Chain A
Amino acid sequence: MVGSTNVTSSERPRLRTAAAASGAFLLLLTIALIVVAILSLMLGPAHLSPSELFRGLTGQSETAAIILREIRLPRLILSLSIGGMLGLAGAAVQGLSRNPLAEPAVLGTPQAAALGAVLMIYSGLADAFSLALPLTAIVGALLAMLATLLVVRRVGGVISLLLIGLMIGSLAAAAISLILSLSSNPYAVTEIVFWLMGSFTDRSMWHVVLSLPFIIVGAAALFWCGPAYKALTLGEETATSLGFDIWRVSLITSAGIALGVGAGTAVSGAIGFVGLLAPHMVRPFVRSDAQAVLLPSALAGAILTTAADVLVKLIPATSEIRVGALMAVIGAPCFLYLVIARPYRLDDRA
């Protein structure tokens, strides 16, 4: 180090307090996660009492065990992992673009993934080859992220990032509408429309097997980029001078989001706003650099999505409300709040 130091810091205890506060917040998130997870396992058309849940999990009650294994557990694993991935992806995209309004859905990623998936449902390939749906969704998401990044790299700027994301999202949505209007089979149309709304209903362990590996790899890629997001707080030039290859980080982030969010969208349909809300929910409670916010955002995303799924089960309706639709109803006003109240700077130029 340059210059020797004789500082005996009086700040150390405070730092420990700050670390403890972040630790306590993580603990709180974990407890909330466990609570919504237990609720999710207990609630459903046939409610399980806590003792039934325990007997089901330990295999003492055959009926409860079947309900859990076949229905509730896959649904819970999916809502936790996909919600977690969405929260994490939101924090990552915000860190990479240095924009508090960025999230995969704002950048058109899930819409593009949905387009890929809808193509597979429409063509019938999804039934013929089970990996076709998640793989096409991932490719769709990857193409959307790459297209956005390539254009942004040419024209630069955060506003263009959002505008291009918006355009890609609209384009994908328009293509989906086109497919729907061209479809001669009303059953396929209904299937696609419901699928698009996003849901964890009637998913099996097979869906978990299809999506979870991609989500784990995608999440690992985003966590790996954490130090670069932190360095990007001070802009691309500073981050580069600190030794980070920002173009490579952008590519790895795109690939990670395409894998995780693409695979998630493939099995659950499009669920928006989780990626936007989760980072903003946790930011006041953690050291707010773009890296420190990753894990809490993932936890918050998992809690939000699972809680929304629990709410869907509780709201009395003739057919179950779609979790994606519910998230949009909650998320849109929150997005509006962020734009109007501007708790963060929305432009990054000095």
Chain B
Amino acid sequence: MSGTSHIVVDHLSVSLAGRTIIDDLSLSLDAGQFIAVIGPNGSGKTTFLRALAGQMPASGSIAINGTPIDRLSLPQRARAISYLPQDMRQPIWPVPVRDIVALGLTPFDTHASDDDPAVEQQLQDFDLIDLAERGVDRISGGERMRALLARAMVGPQPIVLLDEPLNSLDPAHQLRVMDLCQKRAEAGSLVIAVIHDIDFAMRYATRILAFKDGRLAADDLPRRLIKTDVLAKIFGVAVAQAQTPDGPILAMRPHRDLDRG
């Protein structure tokens, strides 16, 4: 499994403890796209990503290049999909950052060396060179997030799933991560990220999937979505826009501000 990949999701439903988390979802996701998944808390974003990663029992089907994901072995999946989950952001063992990043190469080489050029590249990309030898238990939350992102991006998987990759990051590093995701998609990968910062999502993503109550409230290009009232509806807020030379800037405001204005 290499090169480009596309995912076809057909009538996907996920229930947990009797509660429907994803409700009859069908869509197709193509190589070269940077897809931002947005939506309120509990709308099914993480579950959607976990299902795409094959880590969630679900009804319906998810097929990667025509092969149902449950027919792929775990190592085959690992070579097709790179996944940054939300759990375990604070490892216990004082493993050096460099070794954490090198872990991402495990699906391709069980004995991947921590001085592999790809590891060096990621350390540079995520601004981790100075932290490379430090234990992951001795760095800040944002630094750890970058190490985990570098781990997720180091392999050549054609599909990259990132659950809230901007958490704990300062603005400069948030921009950098979005930039790296965009480049990865431009290079032919399918990048799907759960993002809470709507402004970032609109600016960088090539396609927006907006979830509400386990259903797709919108699936559109950012520039078209911005002209609708979908965002205001699904988040229950007022969306303020300002035009800049770099394009529109979005900001969320409570409804009452809008009422006053």
Contact = CB atoms under 8 A, between A and B. Distances in A.
A236 interface: yes
B79 A243 contact: yes
A233 B99 CA distance: 11
A154 interface: no
Given A5-B117, A242-B78, A287 B88 contact: no
A11 B132 contact: yes
Contact of A241 (B78, B89, B95, B132): B78
Contacts of B94: 283, 288, 344
A11 B115 contact: yes
B118 interface: yes
A110 B133 CA distance: 38
A16 to B, nearest CB: 9
A7 interface: yes
A1 B156 contact: yes
Majority SS at the chain A contact face: loop
Interface residues of A, number: 40
A100 interface: yes
A9 B93 contact: no
A3 B53 contact: no
Contacts of A237: 50, 53, 55, 83, 85, 87-88
B124 interface: yes
Contacts of B95: 233, 287-289
B146 to A, nearest CB: 14
Interface in B80-109: 81-85, 87-96, 98-100, 103-104, 106-107
B187 A3 contact: yes
Contacts of A290: 93
Given A1-B117, A11-B120, A288 B106 contact: no
B103 A350 contact: no
Interface of B: 50, 53, 55, 74-75, 77-79, 81-85, 87-96, 98-100, 103-104, 106-107, 110, 114-115, 117-118, 120-121, 124-125, 132-133, 135, 137, 148, 151, 153, 155-156, 183-184, 187, 189
Can you list the 10 inter-chain pairs with the closest CB atoms, starting with the nearest?
A235-B88, A243-B78, A237-B85, A241-B83, A243-B75, A7-B120, A350-B89, A1-B118, A5-B117, A5-B121
Interface of A: 1-3, 5, 7, 9, 11-12, 14-15, 18, 98-100, 227, 230-231, 233-238, 240-245, 283, 287-290, 344-346, 348-350
